[in-house]
Structure 1
Amino acid sequence: MPAARPDSPTRRRAPLAASTSVSTLSTVLAAAALSFATAAHAAQVEVLHYWTSGGEAKSAQVLKQMLEKKGDTWVDFAVAGGGGGNAMTALKTRVVAGNPPAAAQIKGPAIHEWGDEGVLMPIDDVAKQDGWDRVLPPEIAAIMKYNGQYVGAPVNVHRVNWLWINADALKKVNAQPPATWDDFFRVADALKKAGITPVAIGGQPWQEAETFETVALGVGGAAFYKKAFVQLDDATLKGPTMVKALETFRRLRTYADASQTGRDWNMATAMVINGQAAMQFMGDWAKGEFTVANKVPGKDYLCVAAPGSQNAYTFNVDSFVFFKVKTPGVDKGQKDMAGLLMSPAFQQTFNLNKGSIPVRQDLDLSKFDACAKKSSADFKAAGAAGALVPSWAHDMVVSPAVEGAFYDVIGKYWSDESMTAQQAANRLAAAAKTQ
């Protein structure tokens, strides 16, 4: 949208001297115009984000360059950590101190929690002018609004329930991508026998939670997932299907390497890229790492839905919200950024780098690879079938308090073999009541 120009006071000018030449007048007017344009269009936009690895960092640079072409200045506030926990801690510190960044990478229920604090700047005028309601899926548009007004700009849709496979590793054991959990464990046994680590994972709470979430979807299906993790139904959380999901999740540990503790997700992806490991459960931001490594889908690696979850889709949407700041004129840069985030040009460039798909539903995907095209098709099919589910492990549905409590249960269950699946299920049900 056209940049909003800050009001300038009207000043009474002294008449020009009669001897002032036309050329001098032109020079004065040109300098004044340049000065005004610079003052009107330059805005420093401090951006808090956690895109710090490979394809993610490249995507952040794309946004920075586009914003600077608008005449604004990007002030980088990058906080490492793929799960975003460190970034959210830094954000809270800044907001409490009364000095929030202009923009921050926030998603899901946290958007509404910040809205309740009265610190967010509405961007509804940008959304209306650019027709966001027309091009966004309603499930995602609702997340971006507070009291009926847009306060967040979504940039993509990530599918979480992917299984990434090193194609050569699978060929070495003469296996096909596993479609069921029985298939998966048969393939994993063959890989282990061949001296290849079957599953790459990082021993961090969010990675363990995400992997469990994917297992639960594959074991129980979308209806079970919604009842357990969206509705937080007590009987479902501690019922037999949840117990089976936890038992399946526990089995995965025997196929991971012993050095997983503290490993970042992209390091686990690198294990699959270089053939040290065969498979990884991870959202499609992992594809950005394969792309940076010049690997080709269908040839070097395979992207398939995790076992049992072919007809469902767990979504994770990256988005930015904009904070009310004290510095005059920053709102111009904030609105520039909001418009760019949803622009067709940025949506295409960003998602080609990031590994995700555009959140806009009106874009041509001819430049996207086979994994992205499958993701888009599956997203639409799952939406039509009622099997589109938000990722609880990635801040999309439950409160931060419940999510943190779930993380604790899953992490302890993963590392403590003395805890039974039923005990873990009971603790999940208790965790759902966390305030």
Structure 2
Amino acid sequence: MLNVRLTLCAAALLGLAAFTQAAEVEVLHYWTSGGEAKAAGELKTMLEAKGDKWKDFAVAGGAGENAMTALKTRVVSGNPPAAAQLKGPAIQEWGDQGVLVSIDDVAKAEGWDKLLPPVVANVMKYKGQYVAAPVNVHRVNWLWINADLLKKANAKAPTTWDEFFKTADAMQKAGIIPVAIGGQSWQEAELLESVALGVGGASFYKKAFVQLDQATLKSPTMIKVLETYKRIKPYTDKAANGRDWNLATAMVINGKAGMQFMGDWAKGEFAVAGKQAGKDFLCVAAPGSADAYTFNVDSFAFFKLKDKDAEKGQRDLAQLLMSPKFQEVFNLYKGSIPARQGMDLSKFDDCAKKSSADFKNAAAKGTLVPSWAHDMAIPPAAEGAIYDVAAQFWNDDSMTAQTAAQKIAAAARAQ
């Protein structure tokens, strides 16, 4: 009997030791809306099933500015999280600071170079080694439309800017707010981005908002882009100031507005509300941009930690983020498509299937471009400065498109 008790006691102590040694993985993210929170919850569940402990570090704010401020504070204090939601050039900038840890061993073991399109894989690497793992690919240049309100206005889903303004006029005459938007600088910048792609095309977009070419930013095409952008404002409502993006999406979901320009994270909100693509809402490329694709990739970069035991948790998280199961479940909630190529999309809706097909077509045509409004293309200083001009022009009726173009060109030089 004594031996049995000793054996049970030893087993209990071993169990306690295993529990106390579970790696704590603190994850900084800004997924706080309905669809996003569900996606983050799924990640937590799957990580803890691996025996690790999830420590949530959620910072509200759709574009991530608040999260990035919090991250800087933690890194400067010498206490970074295990992983943080980062995108585009920011990954390289943190790499330059010497604070990221390589997860190349996980990437090589899992064959990430074969599973990721080069345009995504290259963003995840610093000096040739993976330091971040992608979870999805968002298409930014979407226009979401309430199907019932479109029918009520006796209008059609627009494919050109002329058609868009006809549809907006029809909705307005029917007593419908044509365009839902939140009066926040990142939402205004995203709208400008989609207008630029639709009016100028992918080649113009690359020169203007990836290369920041001064002549292109001051060109007649840029002036036309800005005039089209500003022409949309009378079709929005006066209560937009300060509204979060998901509340603007809710206006379309609830029949209070007809359309919204927003990346496909908006679809996650439609899904949470029980709405069906093609029946309750339509997803169409922003006018003029059907042959192009602005991409935004959510990813997690991994930081050097003092606690070496936490490295096991970081590698578990990296492996999990790229696993087929997580990529499927996460993106079904998030509204995006898997970053991992070759996956079965049978559970995804028509919008996601169209996004996947359009991504491949745009990659083949050379019209796949990074979203400058979502941290994928240009340095943060230039991005922020252009944000400011876009917001100023949107809200100042006395500013001309010519003046705005000159200001954007000057903003692009910000370092």
Matched-pair contact (CA < 8 Å) for 2:197–2:289: yes
> In 1, distance between residues paired with 2:286 and 2:383?
22
Cα shift readout 1:365-392 (whole Å, capped 9, x = no counterpart): 0000000000000000000000000000
Q: Which amino acid aligns with 1:219?
A: V
How far residue 325 of structure 1 moved from its aligned partner, in angstroms, is: 1.5
Q: Deviations over 1:84-123 (max 9, x none)?
A: 0010011111111111111111110000000001111111
User: What SS does the aligned partner of 1:366 have?
Assistant: coil
Does the residue aligned with 2:232 lie in a helix, a strand or coil? helix
User: 1:226 aligned to 190, 206, 215, which one?
Assistant: 206
RMSD of equivalent CA atoms: 1.4
Q: Which residue of 2 aligns with 1:47?
A: 27
Task: Note the alpha carbon deviations across 1:322-375, whole angstroms, 9 max, x for none.
Answer: 111112311111111111110000000000000000001120000000000000
d(CA) in 2 for partners of 1:133, 1:36: 37
Equivalence map 1:360-379=2 (5 Å):
360-379=340-359
Is 1:100 the counterpart of 2:80? The answer is yes
- List gaps (5 residues or longer) in structure 1: 1-19
Equivalent pair of 2:154/2:170 in contact (CA under 8 Å): no
Q: Which consecutive segments of 4 or more residues in structure 1 shift more than 4 A?
A: 20-29
Whichever residue aligns with residue 146 of structure 1, its letter is Y
1:35: Cα distance to partner? 4.8
Preserved CA contact (<8 Å) 2:142 2:283: yes
For residues 236-247 of structure 1, the aligned pairs below 5 Å read 236-247=216-227
Alignment partners' CA distance in 1, 2:5 and 2:43: 40
Q: TM-score, normalised by structure 2?
A: 0.98
Rounded Cα–Cα distance in structure 1 between residues aligned with 2:238 and 2:58? 30
5+ unaligned residues in a row in structure 2: which ranges?
none
Report the structure number with the largest CA radius of gyration: 1
TM score, norm. by length of structure 1 = 0.93
Matches within 5 A, 1:128-143: 128-143=108-123
Q: Which of 376, 391, 397 lines up with 1:417 in the alignment?
A: 397
Indicate yes or no: 2:254 matched with 1:274.
yes
Report the secondary structure of 2:235's partner residue: coil
Residue 3 of structure 1: aligned partner: none
Q: In the alignment, does 2:299 pair up with 1:319? A: yes
Percent identity for Structure 1 against Structure 2:
71
Counterparts of 1:278-317 in structure 2, within 5 Å, are 278-317=258-297
Partners in 2 of 1:199 and 1:296 — Cα distance?
Answer: 20
Match of 2:186 in 1: 206
**CA distance, structure 2, for counterparts of residue 152 and residue 325 of structure 1:** 15
For these two proteins, the number of residue pairs brought into alignment is: 415
Structure 2 distance, partners of 1:21, 1:304, is: 72
Partner of 2:19: 38
Contact conserved, 2:134 with 2:339, CA < 8 A, in 1? yes
The AA in structure 2 aligned to 1:260 is: A
CA distance in 1, matches of 2:2, 2:159: 82
Shift of 1:39: 4.9
Once the two structures are superposed, the pairs formed by residues 14-413 of structure 1 within 5 Å of their partners are 23=4, 26-27=7-8, 30-31=11-12, 33-35=14-16, 37-40=18-21, 42-413=22-393
The CA deviation at 1:25 is 7.1
Offset at residue 37 of structure 1 (A): 3.6
Q: In structure 2, how many angstroms separate the alpha carbons of the residues matched to 1:89 and 1:251? A: 34
